[in-house]
Chain A
């Protein structure tokens, strides 16, 4: 239904490709800058210790069936005992690090903003200003009219299909689209990965949550209470002797010695 517009091929050469390059290079630069500005996350001894205790309790629940019943009960008692069980009685001082009061979190946020949001805004604005007044590309799916003011920033045509977008929207498309390229070139977990960082910010104090060890302890305590001991070695001899041992290759070859 929409009229097929034929775009000047110059647009392709001088607008589409430069925006791709610019986005990509800015991403790479962001990655290296974020490495330079990285601050060391120092864990306290208590945090390390607690995380390991939680792992041990979980292993006890999952693999407790490989040790004798007595040993399992001994450990369960150690963790869950009414009077002095570790999980029951250890209370950690939980200070939820709110972004405003905790200085290191504040600087981290600032750095995050500076490296990611600021360049995006600046460059987005610059592209909008430079490459304005014409249509850049067409998105392959039809869009409603409501998208027009958003995606067609500088083009004042009322009758133009909303699928035709301006260069600013092409820029934003690139920012998200080049994510997989970054993984290919910079390796996983790179600093140029915009959307991942925004996801982290959205899960907000998710990084601060491990500080809530009390809740973690309580959850482990409940789970451990419910666990029973099903000894995996009940019928092990019968299982073993149901068939002959596989003794192929034993004593048949010399052990290798020497350097090469």
Chain B
């Protein structure tokens, strides 16, 4: 019996860790959560409600509608009239592709509480799921006008813009994210990549700077290192630059090459051909 108890606490703690870290490992969550709910429901106490929510979302990801339905029923019984549960019901309708019904569900939440951000964001994801990206972009813009501080939304918008190849606006969104999270190297790197894609001498210079910033924030960001190398070499190769700028950029590119070599020295020799290919293409 002792062994079973140990396993139970381990499962519950794993679920909690995944919940707190916002992991989306839905299959694992479904496996662990289903067993927890079926076998150990009584031992969970009040934790069970949040586990129901976590497992339900994971079940929707894995197309396990039976499991999702049971979780939803339990939550509805315990919290009738809760907006959080209504949102989960809406998500289930979304998973079943009943977008009209889901939309109506979210509208009813918004009628009760116009400040409910979760419902508004779900409506936008419905548009995205239906492939109506232009509408999704428009709705998301309106949402962001009201809720300027929602970082998740800014990131989503930047992704949508990148898909539409509207790099200028994507850069704007990433700038918002960089301001609110100045120490996040990933935003710097993404911004640099967008600027690099936009092209043009000024943007290349900006991208090189932001790749460098990303590297400064995290020395191990290989993408940024490669990006630094590529942007520096492109600027150096461009006919419009003067000699000093060219010299500086050649120096940057050489330094980047050095660092790349150093990084890949620890790996096995079969990495070598790839590395040589990349260096040769400059």
Contacts and interface: CB of A to CB of B under 8 A. Distances in A.
A252 interface: yes
A45 B147 CA distance: 9
A48 B120 CA distance: 15
B263 A247 contact: yes
B247 to A, nearest CB: 13
Contact of B216 (A49, A239, A249, A251): A239
B10 interface: yes
Contacts of B267: 251
B149 interface: yes
Given A49-B146, A55-B149, A260-B10, A245 B262 contact: yes
Contacts of B200: none
Nearest to A71: B175
A233 to B, nearest CB: 5
A233 B10 CA distance: 46
Nearest to A251: B267
A195 B150 CA distance: 36
Interface residues of A, number: 33
Interface residues of B, number: 41
Nearest to B232: A237
Interface string A229-259: 0000100110111001111011110000001
A236 B209 contact: yes
Nearest to B271: A251
B83 interface: no
A67 B175 contact: yes
A191 interface: no
Interface string B209-238: 110110110011010010000000000000
Interface in B239-257: 252, 255
Given A45-B146, A55-B149, A237-B208, A247 B220 contact: yes
A260 to B, nearest CB: 7
A67 B179 contact: yes
A64 interface: yes
Main secondary structure of the interface of B (DSSP, over half): helix
A40 to B, nearest CB: 10
A250 B266 contact: yes
A252 B266 CA distance: 7
Nearest to A236: B212
B114 interface: yes
Contacts of B147: 48-49, 52
Interface in A40-73: 43-45, 48-49, 52-53, 55-56, 59-60, 63-64, 66-68, 71
Contacts of A237: 208-209, 212, 252
B148 A244 contact: no
A259 B31 contact: yes
Nearest to A258: B28
B209 A56 contact: no
B246 to A, nearest CB: 15
B109 to A, nearest CB: 14
Contacts of A60: 179
B263 A52 contact: no
A259 B14 CA distance: 9
Nearest to B32: A259
A245 to B, nearest CB: 4
User: Which 3 A-B pairs give the minimum distances between C-beta atoms?
Assistant: A52-B149, A246-B219, A63-B179
Given A68-B206, A247-B219, A259-B14, 4 more contacts: A49-B148, A67-B175, A241-B252, A249-B220
5 contacts: A63-B178, A63-B179, A240-B215, A247-B220, A250-B222
